[in-house]
Amino acid sequence: MTGINQIARYKLSRRRFLEGATAAGSVAGISTLGLGQAWADEQPKPAEIVVRAWGGVWVESLKAGVSDPFTQMTGIAVRHDLTEDNEIQPKVWAAVDQGRVPPININWDTTINATKSALRGVTEDLSDLPNLANVLPVAKPEGLEGVPLVNVYAYVYVLAYRNEAFPSGAPTSWNDLLDPRFKGRVALYNDGIGMHAPAVVAGGGKLADIPANMQPAWDYFSKLKAQNPLLGEDPDFTAWFQKGEIDVACTISSNAREAKKNGIPVAWTVPKEGATLDTDCLWIPKGLPAADLYWTKQYVNYAIGQAGQQAWLGPLGLPGVVPGLTPPEDLVGDLSYPTTSDDLAKLLQVSPKIQVEHQSEWFAKFKEIMQG
């Protein structure tokens, strides 16, 4: 299959996302856990389940929005494992390979990472989750057999900036990062994640060029390299903004928002070229005892229900996958919280499958430019 076909298919899915988003879907199964009650009674309950999560506001929102209500309803405690998503992956893979019970019941993961696990065949099928009936099409992964993972929200890699550095208003283009006055004051994720699509567009290409022609992105990154950018991760960005090391960064909107809430003078914007839209998901590794698997699925089911989504994603400021969620007040009209088809048209989406297929190649090229 060719990349162009994949893009065509993915465009279709984006349209499906929109249809769902605009439909005033009826809300069903809010509080019930789904599946037959009689069968549920027969399943012995584990004392606890372990959910991998990111730290800080991420785990706090999950705990308050999903885990605590789940414990209240089922009596099953929820433990949060804060190992980074990319660092838990080899642990889970080794456990499944060696026939051990995996160290976590649920992985809250990027869809890219999770797709690799799905391709490897270490994920449980989730197609019997009752709440899947009420989610937007984007929740179900494209191009994978069954439902090895459920997407739970979308997020945007925005251009975050220090207010002080832009007295006359927000930057309007990713090319503003190339302005000589930001030499040494630009930050990106150290694997370049979130930047490939904007780099293609800012480098003179089109979204449809991905993955066939990435040259515009490499040209853009080469110019950016001359700016001596800092490469790091979210805690670095926050610290660097706080300590005046950088003026601009490509980062996930939730983290910029969290930094702002903690008194760091940053704002964010989606430049005219657009910004990357990606999704995160939940999945269950193979190898859990049957009863544990049953209750673990109930957790995922609750997390994609209306109540779970609203309570969980509000504090994160992220658009969920069920219709009818109320956006946080400060994000109404913000492109980093897309709600309309117009919003989505301004964002850049590359299918997880294409990203997974080309990740190591793009990564190597990015590193080659940045480590030169």
Partner 1 sequence: MTDRSKAVVLWLLVGFSVVTLSAPTAVIIGASLTSGKIVTFPPDGLSLQWYAQILGAFDLRAAFLRSLYVATVCTLIALPCGTLAGIVFAKHRIRFRKGIQVYLLLPFTIPLIGSGVGLMLVFGAGGLLGSLWPVGLACCAINLPFMIWAVAGSANALDPDLEKAAANCGAPPVQTFLTVTLPAVMPGVITGALLMFILALNEFLVSLLLVDSRIVTLPVLIYNSIRSIITPDLAAISVVFVVVAAMVIAILDRLVGLDIFLKSK
Partner 2 sequence: MRHYSTAYPLSWRIFDAVEALAKRVWPARFAPWLPYLLLLPALLVTGLLVIGLIEIADSSLHVLDKATFRSSESYSLENFERALTASLFRNIGLRSFLGAILVTAVTLVLAFPYAYVLVRTESPILRKLLLIVLFLPFFIGQVVRAYGWLIILGNEGILNTSLSFLGIGPFRLLFNYWAVLFGLVQTMIPFAVLMLAPALTAIPKETERAAESLGANWIRTFQYVVIPLARPGMVGAAIVVFTLTLTDFAIPAVLGGGSNDFIANAIYDQFFRTSDAGLGSALTLLLIIAGSAAVGVALLLVGIGTLGLAGHDDD
Which residues here bind partner 1, judged by CB under 8 A? 50, 54-59, 79-84, 87, 90-91, 94-95, 98, 100, 103-104, 234-235, 237-239, 242, 254-255, 258-259, 262-264
Which residues, in sequence order, are CB contacts of 237 under 8 Å at separation 6+? 160, 187, 246, 249, 251, 255, 259
CA distance 87 to 110: 12
Report, in Å, the least distance between residue 66 CB and partner 1: 17
Report, in Å, the least distance between residue 97 CB and partner 1: 8
Question: Would you say 122 or 159 has its CB closer to partner 2?
Answer: 122
Residue 251 · residue 189 · CB < 8 Å: yes
CA distance 231 to 311: 33
Q: Can you tell me which of 1, 47, 72, 90 binds partner 2, judged by CB under 8 A?
A: 90
Report, in Å, the least distance between residue 344 CB and partner 1: 25
Residues in the chain: 372
CA distance 206 to 351: 15
Which residues, in sequence order, are CB contacts of 258 under 8 Å at separation 6+? 56, 57, 238
Task: Kindly state the DSSP code that residue 178 receives in the 8-state scheme.
Answer: G
Question: Would you say 237 or 299 has its CB closer to partner 1?
Answer: 237
Site string for partner 2, 273-312 (x = CB under 8 A): ----------------------------------------
Q: What is the DSSP string of 263-286?
A: T--EEEE--TT--BEEEEEEE-BS
Q: Does 367 bind partner 2 (CB under 8 A)?
A: yes
Amino acid at 80: H
Report, in Å, the least distance between residue 251 CB and partner 1: 9
Give 230's strand partners. 187
Short-list 149, 208, 214, 207, CA closest to 363:
214
CA distance 303 to 297: 10
Q: Looking only at residues 167 through 196 of this chain, which bind partner 2 when binding is defined by CB under 8 A?
A: 184, 188, 190-191
Q: Looking only at residues 98 through 137 of this chain, which bind partner 2 when binding is defined by CB under 8 A?
A: 116-117, 119-121
Q: Can you tell me which of 20, 171, 229, 327 binds partner 2, judged by CB under 8 A?
A: 229
**Helical (H) or strand (E) element with 249:** strand 248-252
Q: Does 22 bind partner 2 (CB under 8 A)?
A: no
**Helical (H) or strand (E) element with 230:** strand 230-232
Q: Does 231 bind partner 2 (CB under 8 A)?
A: yes
Site string for partner 2, 233-252 (x = CB under 8 A): --x---xx--xxx-------
Report, in Å, the least distance between residue 237 CB and partner 1: 8
* List of residues contacting partner 2 (CB under 8 A): 86-87, 89-90, 116-117, 119-121, 184, 188, 190-191, 228-232, 235, 239-240, 243-245, 356-357, 359-360, 363-364, 367-368, 370-372
